[in-house]
Structure 1
Amino acid sequence: MSDTLPSRYDKHAPRFDPEQPLTLLRYFEDLADVFAAHPNAVPNDATKKAVVVKYVPMYEEELWKGVPEFSDDSKSFEDFKGAVLALYPAVKEDQRYSVGDMDRVVGERQRVGIHNLADLAAFHRDFLLITRYLRKNDIISVREQGRAFQRGFQPELWNKIFRRLQIKDIDHQPDTPYNVDEVYKAVEFILHGMSAI
């Protein structure tokens, strides 16, 4: 086992994508693996801090070096890590997603449209990723989730979906939104056979 750390250009080097802040958590997990694999190369907290900034893009490197915990030798690696994580609210468990994120995904999909099963699957995945978090944290209700999912479809497609849903559940209350699974199955039925190209 070598105690030489991977180069920043090494294909096995830890990576952080600033465009995807949630990758920061994985970045620190990967760094922990690097530290465990090369204990002699990272003998103290100051060295660990230097390694953390080694693998990130230049802007992040400058930003992270600017937090007081980086240069303060009395601050531990964990203090520095906490300061870096604080720069990215999306990685905080209580701030991971917002209703605005849900509205952005819905609005974007409504604008772009759903033309085939691949489009539907992409929208469904993005929507569930955000709304499951919002539901789990009691930020939105099941009804709000259903209503938001329905808004993601362009009017022409929504009319077809709505007709399909009415056929499937003739006793559905008019003011009650259909749940996400019901809508997904109806759209799947309508789009079945449409080309993914």
Structure 2
Amino acid sequence: MSQPYRLPPRGAAGAPVFDPSHPETLLDFFEDLDYMLEEANIDSEQKKKEHAVRYAPPTQKSLWRSFAAFAEDKSYEDFKKEVIKEYLGEDGKRLYSLGDIKTLVNTYAAKGFSSSSEFKVYSRSFRVIADDLVKHHVLRDDDRDRYFIKGLPEPLRAASLATCPVHRLTAL
């Protein structure tokens, strides 16, 4: 007879992790938690919510307990929706805001790149944020392109604009 699956202790390898400074990690947190709850055969709606709070960052536990959906008469799915709404917005699908892309662009425009590796980090980070914003109709494609160019240090920006089609990137 096999032993029942036991949920790992908080902070242990394999325990779900949510970092409030990176709200996009919340969806992975709940995906991991849901898998573990299923493996452990935990069916009680209240127990599921209690485990979610148990794995929540210490600074967030009181907030999560204060949600109306944490009450005994509410479902775990209602609770998850309320937590996701708190960190990711109404639909829980848009992970980034215009502020995120502006911060990234301004940071790299000011500091520049000391290597091609740093440029690649900027490019990947930018693409993740910009693609999410375009997908959710917060940014148009041409705005995305303008923001990307704005993130380049001035000498590189000028060289890039000299080689880009003018109709796409004018008015930077």
* TM-score of the two chains, using structure 2 as the length reference: 0.85
What is residue 177 of structure 1 aligned with on the other side?
Answer: 169
Whether the 8 Å CA contact 2:161–2:169 is kept in 1: the answer is no
Higher alpha-carbon Rg: 1
What is residue 99 of structure 1 aligned with on the other side?
Answer: 98
Number of equivalent positions:
167
Summarize the Cα distance change of 1:134–1:10 in structure 2 as closer, same or farther, 3 Å threshold: closer
Letter of the structure 2 residue corresponding to residue 17 of structure 1:
D
Whether the 8 Å CA contact 2:24–2:88 is kept in 1: the answer is no
Give structure 1 stretches of 5+ with no counterpart.
167-171, 179-197
* CA–CA distance in structure 2, aligned partners of residues 34 and 107 of structure 1: 40
* CA–CA distance in structure 2, aligned partners of residues 27 and 58 of structure 1: 15
Summarize the Cα distance change of 1:64–1:104 in structure 2 as closer, same or farther, 3 Å threshold: same
* CA–CA distance in structure 1, aligned partners of residues 59 and 11 of structure 2: 17
* CA–CA distance in structure 2, aligned partners of residues 50 and 138 of structure 1: 36
* CA–CA distance in structure 2, aligned partners of residues 9 and 89 of structure 1: 23
Give structure 2 stretches of 5+ with no counterpart.
none
* CA–CA distance in structure 2, aligned partners of residues 8 and 156 of structure 1: 48
Letter of the structure 1 residue corresponding to residue 8 of structure 2:
P
Q: Percent identity?
A: 28
Whether the 8 Å CA contact 2:133–2:139 is kept in 1: the answer is yes
CA root-mean-square deviation: 2.1
What is residue 61 of structure 1 aligned with on the other side?
Answer: 61
Letter of the structure 2 residue corresponding to residue 30 of structure 1:
D
Letter of the structure 2 residue corresponding to residue 89 of structure 1:
L
* CA–CA distance in structure 2, aligned partners of residues 134 and 43 of structure 1: 36
Summarize the Cα distance change of 1:100–1:43 in structure 2 as closer, same or farther, 3 Å threshold: closer
